[in-house]
Structure 1
Amino acid sequence: MPNTLPALTKEEHLLLKLKERELAALLEITQAVNGEPNDENLYKIFQFTLLGQLGVRQLAVYVEEEGHQWRCATAFGPKMPEFQAHQLPERIQRFPPEHPASVADLELGKPWQVFETVMPAYEGDQLLGLVFIGELNQNYTSSDEARREAVTFIDSLSQILLGAVASRRLVRQQVQAAAVRKEIEIAQEVQAMLFPGKLPNNDAVVVHATYIPHTAVGGDFYDVVEIDKNRFLFCAADVSGKGVGASLLMSNFQAGLRTLLRQPVDLATVVQELNHLIFRNSGGDRFITAFFGIYNRATRHLQYVNAGHNDPLLLPDHGPVQLLKTGAIMLGVMDELPLLQVGELTVPPRTMLLTYTDGLTEVFNEAGDEYGEEGVLQALHEMRYVPLPKLHDSLLQRIEQFNAKGNYFADDITILSCRFK
């Protein structure tokens, strides 16, 4: 006797049809998630799937982004207001439902009454978004079981969609973070190559330098370049801004400086050409303060230009401290430097010169007092004859003790000192 299957009831037949639609909807969303569309296209696919397969008439999806800001990612339906222009009510932001809930029970008011149900999407304890749905296909409203089936399935579909969007966002953030780390790594390598590997230490002069970056890639720079057997140039500089852009501009600055020094040009020409180079490369958006000095060991003659930099301190063995102010404005502000002057002096024996960037002086105590140039001068008077490495270490210890934030400094610190024998 042949086996016969009992005929499906009308309700069972309806539920089977709904399952087929749900399977088709799940397949569409899964294929979209596994594909390569951007987030906005994912929301559109979600929208069309709910409309085409499940007959959802009204929909609005709100997602929480960085900074706890909510935005409407997609919305559609007849007689719907422009939900992209409507902020998510503060009440539901502060007290979101844990499970699908009736919008009417939440008392959100206009224009939210066009929706029947709100579905939260969570990943662990983190709320990813809220999906508002309105009228369902009449097949889903034929019975309480069908309605529960619809709400449960759309809730699951929403979890898949918003979980996928959150995962893709996390992947993008990780890729971006890796790219930033690589940029910083390259910039650090570039910056390390900018600093000279060896500083003069002979019977005429001793030079010592200390560099403390504020961030992974700083904006300070120093260099010492032998011009010929008697002359060398020393330079300390500070570029506006920090990070990779500042490091690349400093690299360009040093390359230009060293190229110019291979030619028989005077200091004024070097500074003018560097100013033109920086202005051309940064378009006036960045500038560099710098101090340039050229010292002749044979004649003890020093030429210098202070381009908007902190005034270096010249301490002779006898007599008052001299501030080296002569020069020009900062480099890169305009195409031509106005009123450029070159300072000149003869350096007495046993004189010390200290050049630094503003990170050394712009340190504040609990009362808001600045360490300033006066603090540096006091330290120099007390330690003018100690070895330069020890002098630098002592200066750093003093500003750390003075600083209300301890060893956290608000800017890079560069110290370049010369002791002329």
Structure 2
Amino acid sequence: MPDTSHVHPDVLSLRKVLLLKKQELSALLEITQAINQDTTEETLYKIFQFTLLGQLNIRRIVLYVKDEGRWQCTVSFGFQLADFRKIELPDEIIDTCVAGACSISSLKLGAEWQKLDTVIPVTQQDAVLAYVMIGNVQDDYADEEAIKFLETLSNILVGAIENRRLNRQRISAAAMRKEIEIAQEVQNLLFPSKLPNDNQVAVHASYVPHTAIGGDYYDVVSIDQDRFLFCVADVSGKGVPASLLMSNFQAGLRTLLRQNVELATIVHELNHLLFRNSGGEKFITVFFGIYNRATRKLQYVNAGHNDPILLPDSGPIQYLKEGTVMLGIMEKLPMLTVGEADIPPHSLLLSYTDGLTEVFDESGAEYGEEGLIKLIRRNRYLPLGALHKEMLREIEEFSVTKNHFADDITILSCRFK
């Protein structure tokens, strides 16, 4: 050890200052190099910890960072120090230490906090993003200037991590937007571009998604000169997974129709397909109908869906209930009945998803099937497009949330001439 007995005190003091500045510069370089090397957040926190220990000889370090509104301890290091990763940040610190360093001894905190000396808030735009707690600091590194440097160093670290988090969120949001765009395109391709409208039958469909990607689906497929299949379905869940399940469902349906199989076989095979793809965790309610123009007969299967309403020109309403349970919840359907209905001239058939009827007013009363039947009785001879608009207008007027419906709405109606 060099002999400093003959050195003037001012020179010694200057040497100490220069040494501290050199240590601070080294600490700053270590942190900035780590940031520039695109180091992971976890590694950055470790470098911060060992930089304070190795360069500045700070023996106890605790760092709390605000992440998505919650305070989390990301660094907890020091001799005889509690594991602060398991300790909530006290309100006393949050409420008191907002504009500058605070002495731990001035706060009414538990015994585990007494091993620390100082709390340093790290702020950006008047908002506290982090708290650095230090303890067992060498005497030469405990003045106000040192505290300001620690605050600056911590600000660089926390700012870099916050920027990475925001960048990650932007990338994730961009990826999600792209995923939604693709799913929307897939969903739009699922819907038929042309619906039957001839001298025997007219079909019209309306679809109002609740979110960017809905969970409803409808289809109309020509089988031969006389017959066409139509269906309305509602998949559990929303978003991209629901869209993908619907695309599998449609692909399976189209393949089975090309094989000219019976309706019962179509339903069994689609149930097996859905169960295999989702393992029973997702399901689809669906109404299938096959109409024969030559015989005026409708074969149908209602798989746990809202009962379509068949309104003849005269006589009582008929509800199409025959069928089975929802598809996809079990490997084999426990029962299946194929219903059949004769379709009188000038009948109206309305298929829909539950978003059309599960609408509530300010008192909590439901629009329901009763409201729907009253509406179609009043307006049954309107052109189908106008009828659908009237349905949507009336439930919007009825709903306490107006046009912010709680679920997707799909309407498919057939007018038999």
Shorter-chain TM-score bucket reads: over 0.9
RMSD: 1.3
Partner of 1:155: 151
Moved more, 103-112 or 220-229: 103-112
Partner of 1:242: 238
Deviations 1:236-267 (A, max 9, x none): 00000000000000011001100100012000
Equivalences, count: 410
Partner of 2:40: 38
Residue 215 of structure 2 aligns with an amino acid whose one-letter code is G
Partner of 1:3: none
Q: In structure 2, which of residues 263, 268, 279 is the aligned counterpart of residue 267 of structure 1?
A: 263
Partner of 1:10: 12
| Structure 2: distance between partners of 1:152 and 1:125 | 16
Q: Does 1:73 align with 2:74?
A: yes
| Structure 2: distance between partners of 1:139 and 1:396 | 75
Q: Does 1:29 align with 2:31?
A: yes
Alpha-carbon shift at residue 108 of structure 1 (Å): 2.4
| Structure 1: distance between partners of 2:61 and 2:83 | 12
| Structure 2: distance between partners of 1:49 and 1:408 | 54
Q: In structure 1, which of residues 400, 404, 412 is the aligned counterpart of residue 408 of structure 2?
A: 412
| Structure 1: distance between partners of 2:23 and 2:84 | 28
Deviations 1:48-87 (A, max 9, x none): 0000000001000001111x22111111010111111111
Deviations 1:62-119 (A, max 9, x none): 01111x2211111101011111111111222234331122222233232111111111
Moved more, 20-29 or 31-40: 31-40
Which structure 2 residues correspond to residues 122-201 of structure 1 after superposition, within 5 A? 122-140=123-141, 147-201=143-197
Question: Does the CA-based 8 Å contact 2:97-2:119 persist in structure 1?
Answer: no
Partner of 2:52: 50
TM-score normalized with structure 2 length = 0.96
Q: Does 1:312 align with 2:308?
A: yes
Partner of 2:3: none
Residue 36 of structure 1 aligns with an amino acid whose one-letter code is D
What SS class does the counterpart of residue 97 from structure 1 fall into? Answer: coil
Partner of 1:118: 119
| Structure 2: distance between partners of 1:247 and 1:95 | 50
Which structure 2 residues correspond to residues 245-256 of structure 1 after superposition, within 5 A? 245-256=241-252
| Structure 2: distance between partners of 1:126 and 1:360 | 46
Alpha-carbon shift at residue 41 of structure 1 (Å): 1.2
Unaligned runs of 5+ in 2: 1-7
| Structure 2: distance between partners of 1:103 and 1:176 | 40
Alpha-carbon shift at residue 7 of structure 1 (Å): 11
Question: Does the CA-based 8 Å contact 2:122-2:129 persist in structure 1?
Answer: yes
Identity fraction in percent: 60
Which structure 2 residues correspond to residues 365-404 of structure 1 after superposition, within 5 A? 365-404=361-400
| Structure 1: distance between partners of 2:167 and 2:182 | 22
Deviations 1:371-395 (A, max 9, x none): 0000110001001111000000000
| Structure 2: distance between partners of 1:152 and 1:136 | 15
| Structure 2: distance between partners of 1:413 and 1:128 | 44
What SS class does the counterpart of residue 137 from structure 2 fall into? Answer: coil
Residue 345 of structure 1 aligns with an amino acid whose one-letter code is A
Alpha-carbon shift at residue 8 of structure 1 (Å): 6.8
What SS class does the counterpart of residue 354 from structure 2 fall into? Answer: coil
| Structure 2: distance between partners of 1:140 and 1:167 | 30
Question: Does the CA-based 8 Å contact 2:98-2:128 persist in structure 1?
Answer: no
| Structure 1: distance between partners of 2:318 and 2:97 | 68
What SS class does the counterpart of residue 356 from structure 2 fall into? Answer: coil
| Structure 2: distance between partners of 1:148 and 1:136 | 13
| Structure 2: distance between partners of 1:95 and 1:407 | 46
TM-score normalized with structure 1 length = 0.95
| Structure 1: distance between partners of 2:381 and 2:170 | 52
Partner of 1:100: 101
Unaligned runs of 5+ in 1: 1-5, 142-146
| Structure 1: distance between partners of 2:95 and 2:363 | 40
